[in-house]
Structure 1
Amino acid sequence: MIASAPGAPVEVPPAVREIAGGRPIRAVWRNELGGLTFRVGADSRALFVKWSPVELPLGPEVERLRWSASHAAVPRVLDRGADEAGEWMVTAGLPGLSAVDDRWLADPGTAVRAIGSGLRALHEALPVPDCPFDWSVERRLASARERSAEPIGPAERPPGLEHVTSVREALRVLADIPPADRVVVCHGDACAPNTLIGDDGRCVGHVDLGSLGVADRWADLAVATWATRWNYGPGWEESLLDAYGVDPDPDRTAYYRLLWAVSD
């Protein structure tokens, strides 16, 4: 299963029902690890409740959202809690629709430009010297080494690196770390669904910042461009880079896509 809007009814955790207090609840997202996001309420004052099983703690995302909120348009954390089944956080809503809403899937040119320009704006807004979070290659490689015996599935292998079939093989390739192009505070999961787009076709915010941290900007750009293939089909990568304002960098792109495939 990949992350997507639920295509069938989902069981609402008791904690979410309690938070809703009788207001309407709609599941809007399910990730591949079993986490769920619910919209509570049906008007402009709607809240969002992100619920995760116990093995997927939300503390890191809460910390990153609270730090980022004074610099960029990200969800404002209103509350958080936990019980024996999982953890949850409650956030205020943001305007706009996900870049993979049906409206933007039908208009990929606008969506891709919004993703690229929005990512550039995020990178420029978040202050590197003040950021306490690390998403460096070194930290991510340390995580990957814990999984060295695992295979890499065909769908996870980056274009041009299809021959790399295990984490152990990937670690040998990844030992040659490219010099940083530009160090920024990266989103950490710059896939299309995590950009919100307003009615005017511009980025109005970002969500799902649980891996946010300081890294080379290509750690985000490699994944953002790759995700255009998954969500909109081939042919949109250069449009995203144009909107961001950078020329293609095949070597860094290949490196950071492979790192993405083997690290958390």
Structure 2
Amino acid sequence: MYDAPEPVAEIPTGPVAVPDPVRDLTGGRHLVPVWVNELGGLTFRDEGAPGDGDRYVKWVPAGTPELDLAAEATRLTWARAHGATVPEVLSHGSTEDGDWLITRAFAGASAVEPQWIAEPATAALAIGAGLRRLHDTLPVAECPFEWGIDGRIERFEERVASGESPGDWHRGYRDLTVDSVRRRLHEAPDPDRLVVCHGDACAPNTLLDPAGRFAAHVDLGSLGVADRWADLAVAAWSIDWNHGPGFDHLVYEGYGIAPDQDRIAYYRLLWDVG
């Protein structure tokens, strides 16, 4: 049965207040809000000063450790230097109110823009193809970042210690206990293939060109070495909740791999609770 997770980020449908530091950074120009999340993170499109070209400005309010824009800037710069199709970092920094990151705009539209929501098969195939390109391009041996299971289990334990309970998890996991989830997390499948994972391979973070082909990846704040199924399981799940059921198999087809149900189940659980 189709059971989509509750949305935690979305394209805004109404006005979004521009934080004062962002307004100062962009010279008071008109900014178009393109993304908001439940933690207060914002992304704006900025046409830039004359001759500069478009760029994106990300903002995270102070006291939001889950969204580390300095770490994202470092990862973007490394991935771009090693051949990944990701945005160029123009600048980043902090104020007492929060952190900001400015990147040069890519030609392309998010896989959750209305034109691609209306063509879910095209979006799913492009997402799979884009992940395969990322995984085949970035060198594992040279990657200084990790996104391994142990660290994510530690995050699960931190969340439980802070008071999170099964009632906070995806509906498909709410009949489980903390102890049963803990046992499952410590029964990880052997790695299929270690790659440099995107770390947040949800559909909004793939850009498509006008022909519906993969164009670029964005939002790489968790990029690091892990089993490729850590990306694949979540990318296909994201097609379900963004585009509707029945197209997730096309993510695997676009990648060029058959679904591995055990690894898919494990990494979806780990994603939700950790």
**Whole-angstrom distance in 2 between the partners of 1:198 and 1:207:** 14
User: Following TM superposition, by how much is the alpha carbon of 1:32 offset from its aligned partner in structure 2, in angstroms?
Assistant: 2.1
Match of 2:134 in 1: 122
Which of 57, 61, 76 is the aligned partner of 1:49?
Answer: 57
Between the aligned partners of 1:13 and 1:148, the Cα distance in structure 2 is 32
Tell me the distance in 2 between the aligned counterparts of 1:36 and 1:222. 26
Other-structure match for 2:36? 30
1:20 aligns with 2:32: no
C-alpha contact 2:169 2:272 (8 A) present in aligned 1: no
- Displacement of 1:77 in angstroms is 0.7
**Which residue does the alignment assign to 1:8?**
14
| Deviation (angstroms), 1:19 | 1.9
Q: What is the match of residue 4 of structure 2?
A: none
Structure-2 separation of matches of 1:155 and 1:36: 24
Counterpart of 2:221? 210
SS at match of 2:241: helix
Moved over 6 A (4+): none
CA distance in 2 between counterparts of 1:4 and 1:254 reads 25
1:139 to 145, 151, 162: 151
The alpha-carbon deviation at position 108 of structure 1 amounts to 0.7
8 Å contact kept, 2:169–2:273: no
Task: Report the Cα offset of residue 88 of structure 1.
Answer: 0.2
Question: Quick one: distance in 2 between partners of 1:101 and 1:153?
Answer: 31
Q: Hey, what does 1:152 align to over in structure 2?
A: 166
The aligned residue for residue 104 of structure 1 is 116
- Do the aligned partners of residues 188 and 167 (structure 1) sit closer, same or farther apart at CA in structure 2, a change above 3 Å counting? farther
CA RMSD of aligned residues (A): 1.7
The one-letter code of the counterpart of 2:166 is I
SS at match of 2:132: helix
Aligned pair count reads 260
Deviation track 1:151-193 (CA, whole Å, cap 9, x = no partner) reads: 23476245xx5532x5443112111111000100000000000
Q: 1:80 to 1:167 in 2, by over 3 A?
A: farther
Quote the offset at 1:55 in angstroms.
2.1
- What amino acid is the match of 1:238? H
Q: How far apart, CA to CA, are the structure 2 residues paired with 1:235 and 1:55?
A: 39
Q: Write the letter of the residue equivalent to 2:191.
A: A
Q: TM-score, normalised by structure 2?
A: 0.90
- Structure 1 unpaired stretches of 5+: none
SS in 1 for 2:216: strand
Structure 2: 5+ residue stretches without partners: 1-6
1:90: Cα distance to partner? 0.8
- Alpha-carbon distance between aligned partners in 2 of 1:236 and 1:75, rounded to the nearest angstrom: 28
| Aligned residue type for 1:151 | S
The equivalent of 2:232 in structure 1 is 221
CA distance in 2, matches of 1:157, 1:183: 30
Letter in 1 for 2:246: G
Percent of residue pairs identical: 51
Q: Given that residues 135 and 188 in structure 1 are in contact (C-alpha distance below 8 angstroms), is that contact kept between their aligned partners in structure 2?
A: yes
Q: Which amino acid aligns with 1:185?
A: V
What TM-score, normalized by structure 1, do the two folds share? 0.93
